[in-house]
Amino acid sequence: MGRFLHLVRAALRSRDQFTVALAGGSTPRQLYSLLTEKRLDWERLHFFWGDERCVPPDHANSNFRMADEVLLSHVPIPAENIHRIHGELPAEEAALDYEDELRHFFRYQTPRFDLILLGLGSDGHTASLFPGTPAVREKVRWVVGVDHRSPPPPLVNRVTLTPPALNAAANIIFLVSGTEKAERLAEVLQGPYQPELLPAQIVKPVDGHVCWLVDQAAADKLTLPKK
């Protein structure tokens, strides 16, 4: 949480707004809850999402719903500062709609988020970039629909930011926890570069910083330098 707060406060000292793309899943939930206790210029923060499941916004599997229940509904954020992916639409339609939102907000320049929060799946995916899927190889579009028919669940279609959008960010924070992520984390960080199998490896901002925040369980299989 300290790094999140530092990035927000540093940015707002020189600019009018801070843009962050939120992650879904269970790991960032605690961060979102803790943020509700902090004093921030919430009216100057703009919230986006790195990916979304194609479900209505009140569905239990909705990334928007989780963030709204834990964070957004508890702090004074103007409604116009919440830029959700319309997961109730078909995946490709939702992707086009969200990319249009990004084009307007970022004035038709490649979106440069101040911060993108990402997780790591036990299969090596991040956002909704799954191993072997076309989204991993996308070079032009910022947002695409994903036909998700194999584990991990839930097996519903997705909408995701693509590598060009992710790698334009100023800052990316990966949040990783749990023993079930340990082997994959070691492969992503210390194994050979094979993003088709380990899509999280493709996240390499061209002019930005990546920070991995992992718990002891997730870091168990990393080879750490000797003191």
pLDDT of residue 26: 86
State which residues form the domain around 162. Answer: 18-214
The total of structural domains in the chain comes to 1
Is 144 contained in some domain?
A: yes
H/E segment holding residue 9: helix 2-12
Is 137 contained in some domain?
A: yes
Is 9 contained in some domain?
A: no
Is 185 contained in some domain?
A: yes
Sign of CA dihedral 178, 179, 181, 182: positive
CATH of the domain at 149: 3.40.50.1360
Contact 131, 124 (CB under 8 A): yes
pTM of the predicted protein model: 0.96
Contact 64, 57 (CB under 8 A): yes
Is 3 contained in some domain?
A: no
Q: How many CB atoms neighbour CB 132 within 10 A? A: 10
Is 4 contained in some domain?
A: no
Query: From the first residue on, what is the mean pLDDT of each consecutive set of 10 residues in the chain (227 residues)?
Result: 93 96 92 95 98 98 97 97 98 98 96 98 97 97 95 94 98 97 97 97 97 96 80
Contact 51, 14 (CB under 8 A): no
Angle of CA points 19, 8, 140, to nearest 5°: 30
Is 109 contained in some domain?
A: yes
